[in-house]
Amino acid sequence: MVDHHNRRRILTIAYAAQGLATVLLLMLTCLSVQDERLFYIALVLLGSARAFGQPAGQSFLPQLVSSERFPQAVAWTSSSRQSAVIIGPALGGFIYIWGPAVAYAVCLFFYVATGLAIATLHTNSQPRPLDPSASAFRRVTAGIRFIRSQPTILGAISLDLFAVLLGGATALLPIYARDILKVGPGGLGLLRSAPAAGAAITGLVLGRAALRRNADW
């Protein structure tokens, strides 16, 4: 979808859908709805929007800057994203002190603002045309075939796969913050930002003392 359709439009629709899901969560919270199924409907909408929005956002940068400035843009984008991953959860934990409705309202504001900002961008890139000779199944599995043909990429993605699977343990942090550590929403924010802070510190250490033993260059 991202390769063959306008990425700016996909991003705009994805943020609009996430904003709609946040509106549903906000309404369910304000109305004190107890039916868990309605919350799951909002979460499905939110997850579906992110499934389209994240690939579009990650591949949108080349359409915004020239090839000469692309490496510098990647560095700035990575730094800002890592900073957001560290600051965002901690800030969210403190915002949650005023209740979930306030947290949802803040998220809704930024979803709408980001969607409008992306909608106003102008890019010159055109979507890649579909190959009429390739079946839909072949197009879907093209990425898998490419990864299998590149041992370095296959190794990196396989290693990241375990990090993603085991990283789901962060979903248990609210339980630890409330029932075990008893640190409240503020502590939850700090716990949630700890993995990103560790990643940032590790990146700085590796930047100054790169791995040279048992490393495949």
Local confidence band at 207 (pLDDT 50, 70, 90 cut-offs): low
Does residue 130 carry a pLDDT above 70? no
Alpha-carbon 211 to chain mean position = 28
Q: Which of 42-56, 70-84, 124-138 has the highest mean pLDDT?
A: 42-56
pLDDT in tens, 62-117: 878 877 887 788 778 877 887 787 788 778 777 888 888 998 999 999 999 999 99
Sign of CA dihedral 6, 56, 217, 143: negative
Q: What is the Cα gyration radius of the chain?
A: 20
| Mean predicted confidence (pLDDT) in 17-22 | 95
pLDDT of amino acid 205: 78
Mean pLDDT of the chain: 83
Q: Are 61 and 73 in contact (CB under 8 A)?
A: yes
In percent, how much of the chain has pLDDT > 90?
26
pLDDT of amino acid 29: 92
Residue 106 CB coordination number (10 Å): 16
Between residues 212 and 10, the one the model is more confident about: 10
Q: Are 76 and 48 in contact (CB under 8 A)?
A: no
| Mean predicted confidence (pLDDT) in 13-20 | 95
pLDDT of amino acid 37: 92
pLDDT in tens, 147-166: 888 888 888 888 888 877 87
Does residue 176 carry a pLDDT above 80? yes
Does residue 191 carry a pLDDT above 60? yes
Burial class (CB in 10 A: 0-12, 13-18, 19+), 195: middle
SS (HEC) of the chain:
CCCCCCHHHHHHHHHHHHHHHHHHHHHHHHCCCCCHHHHHHHHHHHHHHHHHHHHHHHCCHHHCCCCCCHHHHHHHHHHHHHHHHHHHHHHHHHHHHHCHHHHHHHHHHHHHHHHHHHHCCCCCCCCCCCCCCCCHHHHHCHHHHHHHHCHHHHHHHHHHHHHHHHHHHHHHHHHHHHHHCCCHHHHHHHHHHHHHHHHHHHHHHHHHCCCCCCCCC
